[in-house]
Amino acid sequence: MAYEKCPPIMRPGFLLALALALSCGCSSGGGGSSKPIPRSPWPRFRADTTNSGTGVAGVETARQTPAAIAVDSMSPLSPVTSSPSIDTDGSVYVGSEAGTLLAVRNDGTRKWSATSCAVCPEIPPSGKVEIALGALVSSPAVHTVNEQTSIFIGSSSGRVYGFSDATTVTDSSAVCTACFDPRASDPDITSASFVSSPALVWHSVTGNILSVYIAATITRKNAPGQIFGKLYALAPNGTMQWEYPPGAGWPSGFSASVALGPGRSVLITGGNRGIGRAIAEAFVALGDQVAVTTRNGGAPEGCLDVRCDVTDADSVDRAFAEVEAAHGPVEVLVANAGITHDTLLLRMSEEDWTAVVDTNLTGSFRVVRRAAKGMLRLRRGRIVLISSVVGLLGSAGQTNYAASKAGLVGMARSIARELGSRSITANVVAPGFVETDMTDVLTDEQKAAIRSQVPLGRYAAPTEIASAVTWLASEGAGYVTGAVIPVDGGLGMGH
């Protein structure tokens, strides 16, 4: 039958318009508040082998108030913001919101107090010699070796302090021997708070302290409004041995029991237009840290713009390194970057085929392979591949595109089987006709003909595709993997 005698829906021009609409989602972007201590009887500690059975820290109640211990203005106890720690000789150490570290003997008398540290770096420089401690909100960590006691405590003002307990000096002021401030070595940190108690590791033979572990929350210049967490390992003199993770840190709100939640590191390839842009904006709205790959910029507001060509493995590696430095390991990957070179089979060149498959299918392979490294270390992750109803139904004039999108289904299901034991899921979203700037070029007749093929009788909005993606990346979809989610208005009917 001659083309000109075919009904409109069978003519090549319409078929290519239909193909354009079905591929419209592609993006060429490659790429409890503190309370004062009540004036109740003050606990007094003494050795009591008959009562406690331990020889250390039996407790009796004595009619002695905090004021009797805090005998001067340099050792205010109220409000106390840390839990007390007890030394082997029964001494008690406690920090206050006013910035005083207080040592109390096991008979209830004041041993010493400290309110400043002369070995701390001043951030920012001000020429001061002594640094006020700030609110001491973590419990002290105490360790004694060769009758020398070391005390480490964290401050909400962003420092970790180490003190040496001069046990033979009465009513002395403790000597500050160590100070760590993460802002001294990382100028991008704008604030820090050490609210966890330090943990000490010491040599099993000599008893000397080897490392001080402590966690912090920090904020950074390049991520206003975001709070990050870090774990630091410090030497006894306050110098940093290592930090985890390096760079920005992990988003606050994570715990060992919560795999995914607000603040995750999300990477979307081709996130500057169409479906990719809508997905990026949806994750930003959830409070996640979002990075998008583009070739020429144009990332949505609130997203890290990373230049990347998914057809180049080195470019992919550089992009991931940039994202990991800013947001930490990628926890959610959305492989969305894609292109079309539509034409009928006999007119399709080798270059038309190779370019589309290398971007849409092999490009997705490159970013998934790179993201999997970090996800395996984290033992969690979400991978979402953006396919198309064309990959399931086929489309005249889109042999290359359909093949590339169909390949994503097999890829996702293989990944799901391979990485599932590490709590990493891999799923596919297959959009149908989507209203984007690429469909605006179609004529009203072409648009009406396309809508007539869709049971719901309309195009999808990009936000509807984004909703499916964010659900697959959510904690609620933790048991969904290897699935193909059609968002096509019923066009594919489950294919």
pLDDT in tens, 385-425: 999 998 898 988 999 999 999 999 999 999 999 999 999 99
- CA dist., res. 324 & res. 329, Å (int): 5
Q: Which of 74, 238, 255 is nearest to 155 (CA)?
A: 238
pLDDT at 196: 72
Question: If DSSP codes are grouped into helix, strand and coil, which group holds residue 29?
Answer: coil
The reply to whether 58-238 shares the fold of 14-31+260-487 is no
Selected from 2.40.128.630, 3.20.20.480, 3.40.50.150, 3.40.366.10, the CATH number assigned to the domain covering 58-238 reads 2.40.128.630
Domain boundaries, the chain: 14-31+260-487, 58-238
- What region does 281 belong to: left with phi over 0, alpha with psi -120 to 50, or beta? alpha
Its CATH architecture, for the domain 14-31+260-487, is 3-Layer(aba) Sandwich (3.40)
Q: What does the pLDDT read at residue 38?
A: 34
Q: What is the largest CA-CA distance in the chain?
A: 108
How many Cβ atoms sit within 10 Å of the Cβ of residue 374? 19
Quick check: 250 pLDDT over 70?
A: no
> Which range has highest mean pLDDT (127-141, 253-267, 421-435, 436-450)?
421-435
The full DSSP string for 307-350 is E--TT-HHHHHHHHHHHHHHH-S--EEEE-B-------GGG--H
Whole-model pTM? Answer: 0.52
Q: Summarize pLDDT for 67-86 with one digit per residue, the tens.
A: 333 333 333 444 555 678 88
Highest mean pLDDT among 144-148, 161-165, 339-343, 418-422: 418-422
pLDDT band of residue 298 (cuts 50, 70, 90) is: confident
Which pLDDT score, from 0 to 100, does residue 39 have?
A: 31
Q: For residues 385 and 85, what is the distance between their CA atoms, to the nearest angstrom?
A: 52
Residue pair 100/75 in contact (Cβ under 8 Å)? The answer is: yes
pLDDT score at 469: 96
Q: Which of 51-60, 287-296, 297-306, 408-417 has the highest mean pLDDT?
A: 408-417
Catalytic pick among 213, 401, 459, 479? 401
Nearest to 484 by CA among 474, 494, 475, 493: 494
What is the torsional sign of CA 470, 473, 479, 480? positive
Examine the residue annotation and report whether 401 is marked as an active-site residue of this protein: yes
**Placement of tokens 């420092």 in the chain:** 159
Measured CA angle at 494 (ends 491, 495), to 5 deg: 85
Distance CA 195, CA 48 (A): 33
Sign of the Cα pseudo-torsion (465, 469, 475, 477, in order): positive
At residue 92's C-alpha, the angle toward residues 86 and 94, to 5°, is 105
Residue 58 has pLDDT above 80, yes or no: no
Average pLDDT over residues 127-150: 75
Residue 82 near residue 194 (C-beta atoms within 8 A)? no
Interior/surface letters 463-477, b for 16+ CB within 10 angstroms, e for the rest:
ebbbbbbbebbeeeb
Q: Under a CB-based contact definition with an 8 Å cutoff, are residues 408 and 352 in contact?
A: no
Nearest CA to 304 out of 325, 289, 286 is that of 289
